[in-house]
Amino acid sequence: MKAPLRVIGTSFRKTDGMAKTTGRTLFADDLVLPGMLFAKILRSTRPHARILRIDTSRAERHAGVAAVLTGQAMPIRFGILPVSQDEHALAIDRVRYVGDPVAAVAAVDEDTAEEALRLIDVEYEDLPAIMSFEDAVRLADTRIHEDSQEGNLQKVVAMQFGETDQAIAGADVAFEDLVFYEGNTHLPMEQHAAAALFDGDGKLTLWSATQTPHYVHRALAKVLELRPSCVRVIATPNGGGFGGKSDPFSHEIVVSKLSMLTGRPVKITLTREEVFYCHRGRHPVTMWVRSGFTKEGRIAGLRFRTYLDGGAHGSYGVASTYYTGALQTVTYKVPAYTFEGARAFTNKPPCGPKRGHGTPQPRFALEIHMDKAAEKLGIDPIEIRRRNLVESNSVTANWLRIGSCGLAACMDAVEKGSNWKERHGKLPRGHGLGFAVSSYLSGAGLPIYWNDMPHSAVQLKLDRSGLVTAFCGAIDIGQGSDSVLAGIIAEILGIDPIRDIRLVMADTDLTPVDLGSYSSRVTLMMGNAAIQAAERAREQMLGPVSKKLGIPRERLIFAEGRVFDAEDPSKGCTFAEAVQIAEAAAGSIGSMGSYVPPRSPGRYKGAGVGPSPAYSFSACVVEAKVDPKTGWIEIPKVWIGHDIGRSINEMLVIGQVEGGVYMGLGEALMEEQTFRRNVHKIPSMLDYKSPTTLDMPEVVTYLIEDPDPNGPFGAKEAGQGPLLPVVPAVANAVYNAVGVRIDELPITPERVLKGLDLVAKGKPGRIGPVAVPKVDFPPPLRVRTPWEGGDGTAVKGETQVYRGQPS
C-alpha cells in the first residue's frame, strides 16, 4: 500500500550539504597519497605547428624529476565520440591550438615540475593559423585533421521534414534573420584535477574530477592498452562541471601513464588558464533562420542553418551540430522543417557541451525571430507563442515524441508574475520586458557509444542495522544528484535520506554503470533505476514481515523509519527490525535496478540526437533598464517558470533554475571566449567576465508540476533547460526598452549604443552578423512528417550526394 509522499517534493537537506559548507568535502586536489609525485604539462605556445623535435634530456636530468613523458609513449588516439577519435594524450607531430598538451613531467613537487617544463626544448614549424569558420573554409588545404569530411569541415548535415520551402512560399508573411551566438566557457569553481596510482598488482586507479567516469574508464583502457577490468576510475566530488568535465582529458591519461612509469602515485591540478584551454564550452555559432507565418501568427514552415566554430578537436561536436537543429520543434508546432548544419575545425581550444549543449544558440535565434514575427503581425509576444504551442503526447515533424508539456502553465505564470499585460510596451523609454520559451531533454535517448545495455543502474544492500547502502555510477557535480538518489530510496523504503542511507558513488570497480552527469539525464535515468531497486528490496521484505507481524502485505506501509499496518499504525516494527526479519527468512537483502530509455520513433540518420524520455519546458520574462546615454544594461528582475514534472527536492530544483538564470545572464551580457593574436584573449577568472553572486538580480521561480509518466515520480530535468530562455529574453527586453535589436552575443553597452546611434540616424537599430560562411550544403535527407504519413525513416531512393565546397 502506498502512503502519501513524505520526502519527494520537500526541501530535505542535501546529503553532502554539511561537508560542503564546512569545507570538509575532499576534492581531487585534496588527495594526498604516500610518495605522491606532482605532474605538470607543457603546452603549445603555437596555434598551429608541426613538432620537429622535442628534447627532454635537460628536464630528465633535473634534480627531483621522476619521469618526463611525450606523445610517442601514447600513440593511440581517443575522443568522447566513437566517430571522432582525434586526440592524443600529448601531441605527437602536430599542435593545433595554444594550450595543446605537448609533454609532461612528474617530480617531487610542483615547483620542481614547473622548473623541469622550462628545460624541455620543442622545435616547431609554424603552419597557417585557422582562427574562424571563414578561415577554415578559405584555408581548406591546410587541414587541421586529415579525417574531416571536407577540408576543415568536420561535419556537414542537411535534413528536411515536409515541404518546407513550399510552406514558406505559401505563407502570409515570410522573413529571415542572421544571428550570432558567441562562444563561452563553463567556468567551474574547481579546476580539473586528477590523481593516479598504478599499484603493485598491475591495477590502475584514477581519481578525477570528471562528470563521466565510465567514458574515462574506456578511454584509459584504450590508450594505455590495459584490460578494462584492471582500470578503476573514481570520480571525485566535482566543484562544478556544466559540461566542462565530460570528455576524457589529456591530464587524466598523463598522470596514469606517469604512475605506470614511476610506480608512484601522481597528481595534477590544472591552473585556471589550463582550464580555459581544456574548454569544451559553447560553440560560437552563426545562424540563418527563415520562416513563414500565417496572418494569425501560426508557423507554416521553418528553415535553420547553423555554422559551428568547433575548435581543434571533435569532442562532442558531431552531436553538438545535430543539436543545433534538433529541439526547435519541441516548443512550437512546426508543420514543415529543414535544418542544415556544419562544424568547422579551427586552431582554438575544442568546443563541446556546455549547459544546454548546442541548443542555446538556435533557441536564441528562434526566440528573437518569434519576437520579430509577433511585431510584424501585430500580435503580443506571449500570445504568438501560445498560438504555436506544441501539444503534449504528440510527435514533432522531426519525429521527437513529446510526453508531458507544462509550457502553457509556465507562460501563464511568468506573464502574471511580471504583470506583463499592464507593463509590456507601456513602460517609459529605457525600460522594457522581454519574453522567451524553451525546452530541453531529460537525458538523451541514446548512449554515446552504441549498445543495448542500461543507461543507469542502482544496487542496494540492506544491512541489519537499518542502513541501506546504495551503489551507483552517477557522480554529483554539485547539482545534487546524490540527494535525488537518497530521496527516492528514502521515499520508497520509508527511511531518512541522510541518516539511514550510505551512498557509494561513481567508482567503476564498485558501482554499476551510470553513463555520467551530462544531458540532464541523472534524475530521470538514475531515479528510475533507483525506484526499481528500492521497490525490489521492499518486495523482498514484504512477505517475511507480513508473515511475522500477521499483517496482510497490501496493508504494510514503509514510512518514518518503520513498517506498519495502514489500518493500525501502532502495529509494526522498525525498518531495521524489518530487515532482520527478512534476512532471517530469506538471507541477505540486496537488489538491483536499471533503466533503458524508450525507443524513439525517428529512424533516419541523425535521428539519434534529440530524442529524450521526457522534455522539460521553461518560460522567462526578463526586465531590462537601458541607459540611452551609455547603452548600459541593468537587469533588475527575472521571472522564470519551469515545468519540472515533479520536484524530487524543491530547493535543489530552485537552485538549478537560479543557476541557469545566472549562467544565461552571463552569456547574454558579457561572457566571451575570444581570441587575439591567435591566443585566448582573457584566460583568467578576473578578465573573462561572468556575473558574480553580487551582480545577480532578483529571480522569481515558478515550478510547474505536470508529472511525466517516464520520469521518476513524474520528475523531469532542471539542470540545463532554465538557462535557455534567459538569453533571448534579455535581447527581447533590450529591444522593448530602447528599440535596438542586438542579434549577436554578448549584448554589451557598446553594441546597444551603436544601435541607438543607427536609430538616431534614421536607420534600423539592428546590430548583428551580415553574412554567413560559404558552405555548399548537400541536398537534404528527406523524411516525411507524421502528418504526411511518414514512418520515421528517410525517403528511399534519394541518396545524399555531397557536392563539396565551392572552389
Partner 1 sequence: MMRNPKFRYVAPTSVDEALRVLADHGPEAMPIAGGTDLIPKMKRRQFEPKVVIGLSRLRELASIDGDPASGLVVGAGVTLAELRDNATVRQAYPAVSRTMSLIANPLIQNMGTIGGNLCLDTRCNYYDQTHSWRESIDFCMKKEGKICWVAPSSPRCWAVTSTDSAPLLIAMDARVTLRSVRGDREIPAGDLFRDDGMRWLDKEPDELLTAVRLPAVNGWRATYRKLRRRGSIDFPVLGVGAWARFEGDRVAEARIVLGAVGSRPHEVPEASSALIGRPLDADSIASAAEAAYARGKPLDNTDFMMNWRKRMIREYVTRALGDLGSPIPAA
The site for partner 1 (CB under 8 A) is made up of 29, 43, 45-46, 98, 110-111, 114, 191, 269, 271-273, 629-631, 670, 677-684, 686-687, 689, 691-695, 748-750, 753
Q: Tell me the closest approach of the beta carbon of residue 391 to partner 1, in angstroms.
A: 43
- Residue with smaller CB distance to partner 1, 568 or 757: 757
Contact 69, 300 (CB under 8 A): no
Within 10 angstroms of residue 692's Cβ, the number of other Cβ atoms is 9
Distance CA 546, CA 534 (A): 18
Q: Tell me the closest approach of the beta carbon of residue 349 to partner 1, in angstroms.
A: 13
Q: Which three cell numbers stand for residue 81?
A: 565520440
Q: Tell me the closest approach of the beta carbon of residue 393 to partner 1, in angstroms.
A: 45
- Residue with smaller CB distance to partner 1, 93 or 111: 111
Q: Tell me the closest approach of the beta carbon of residue 680 to partner 1, in angstroms.
A: 8
- Residue with smaller CB distance to partner 1, 98 or 529: 98
Q: Which three cell numbers stand for residue 181?
A: 551566438
Q: Tell me the closest approach of the beta carbon of residue 114 to partner 1, in angstroms.
A: 6
- Residue with smaller CB distance to partner 1, 83 or 679: 679
Q: Tell me the closest approach of the beta carbon of residue 191 to partner 1, in angstroms.
A: 8
- Residue with smaller CB distance to partner 1, 572 or 683: 683
Q: Tell me the closest approach of the beta carbon of residue 96 to partner 1, in angstroms.
A: 14
- Residue with smaller CB distance to partner 1, 542 or 682: 682
Q: Tell me the closest approach of the beta carbon of residue 354 to partner 1, in angstroms.
A: 21
Nearest-10 Cα torsion for 398, 402, 408, 409: -150
Distance CA 661, CA 62 (A): 50
Burial track 476-501 (b if 16+ CB lie within 10 A, e otherwise):
bbbbbbbbbbbbbbbbbbbbbbbebb
Classify the C-alpha dihedral 517-519-524-525 as positive or negative. Answer: negative
Nearest-10 Cα torsion for 328, 334, 339, 345: -10
The CA-CA-CA angle for residues 395, 396, 401, to 5°, reads 40
- Residue with smaller CB distance to partner 1, 148 or 748: 748
Q: Tell me the closest approach of the beta carbon of residue 683 to partner 1, in angstroms.
A: 7
- Residue with smaller CB distance to partner 1, 110 or 583: 110
- Residue with smaller CB distance to partner 1, 121 or 199: 121
- Biggest CA–CA distance in the chain, Å, is 87
Burial track 44-73 (b if 16+ CB lie within 10 A, e otherwise):
bebbbbebeebebeebeebeebbbbbbbeb
- Residue with smaller CB distance to partner 1, 10 or 25: 25
Distance CA 522, CA 473 (A): 10
- Residue with smaller CB distance to partner 1, 694 or 771: 694
Ranges assigned E (strand) in 1-116 = 37-43, 49-55, 65-70, 94-95, 101-107
- Residue with smaller CB distance to partner 1, 45 or 85: 45
Q: Tell me the closest approach of the beta carbon of residue 75 to partner 1, in angstroms.
A: 25
Helix axis angle for 381-388 and 360-377, nearest 10°, is: 110
Place of cell 538549478: 656
Q: Tell me the closest approach of the beta carbon of residue 806 to partner 1, in angstroms.
A: 34
Q: Which three cell numbers stand for residue 53?
A: 623535435
Strand-pair partners of 234? 207, 507
Strand-pair partners of 124? 51
Distance CA 566, CA 55 (A): 76
Contact 193, 267 (CB under 8 A): yes
Classify the C-alpha dihedral 582-585-588-592 as positive or negative. Answer: negative
* CA-wise closest residue to 254 among 194, 314, 301: 194
Contact 294, 130 (CB under 8 A): no
- Residue with smaller CB distance to partner 1, 583 or 695: 695
- Residue with smaller CB distance to partner 1, 271 or 805: 271
Q: Tell me the closest approach of the beta carbon of residue 696 to partner 1, in angstroms.
A: 10
38: which residues sit within 8 A by CB, 6+ positions away?
A: 106, 107, 108, 109, 110, 112, 113, 266, 267, 268
Q: Tell me the closest approach of the beta carbon of residue 557 to partner 1, in angstroms.
A: 51
Distance CA 461, CA 588 (A): 8
Burial class of 543 by CB neighbour count within 10 A (0 to 12, 13 to 18, 19+) = middle
- Residue with smaller CB distance to partner 1, 694 or 770: 694
79: which residues sit within 8 A by CB, 6+ positions away?
A: 85, 86, 87, 247, 248, 313, 314, 315
- Residue with smaller CB distance to partner 1, 129 or 589: 129
Distance CA 32, CA 499 (A): 28
22: which residues sit within 8 A by CB, 6+ positions away?
A: none
Q: Tell me the closest approach of the beta carbon of residue 208 to partner 1, in angstroms.
A: 17
The single-letter DSSP state of residue 320 is H
Q: Tell me the closest approach of the beta carbon of residue 216 to partner 1, in angstroms.
A: 22
Contact 660, 722 (CB under 8 A): yes
Q: Tell me the closest approach of the beta carbon of residue 256 to partner 1, in angstroms.
A: 21
* CA-wise closest residue to 506 among 229, 193, 254, 210: 210
- Residue with smaller CB distance to partner 1, 447 or 746: 746
The single-letter DSSP state of residue 87 is B
- Residue with smaller CB distance to partner 1, 172 or 695: 695
Q: Tell me the closest approach of the beta carbon of residue 44 to partner 1, in angstroms.
A: 8
Could you report how far apart the first and last alpha carbons of the chain are, in Å?
71
Q: Tell me the closest approach of the beta carbon of residue 732 to partner 1, in angstroms.
A: 23
